[in-house]
Amino acid sequence: DITFGDKKFSFQVTRKRSDVYCFTINGGTISAKVREQPDGSLYVTVGRLSQHLKGKEEALGLRLIIGAQTIMVPNVYDPSELRSDVNGKVVRYLHEEGTEIAKGDTFVELEAMKM
Residue 15, strand partner residues: 21
pLDDT band per the 50, 70, 90 thresholds, residue 43? very high
Global pTM value: 0.56
Cα–Cα distance measured from residue 110 to residue 25, given in angstroms and rounded to the nearest whole number: 39
pLDDT tens for 28-41 read 899 999 999 999 99
User: Which runs of consecutive H residues, i.e. helices, occur in 1-115?
Assistant: none
pLDDT tens for 53-103 read 999 988 778 899 998 999 887 776 666 677 777 778 889 989 888 888 888
Q: Which amino acid is at 95?
A: H
Dihedral sign from CA coordinates of 34, 70, 61, 2? negative
Helix (H) or strand (E) run with residue 11 in it: strand 11-17
Mean pLDDT of 4-22: 87
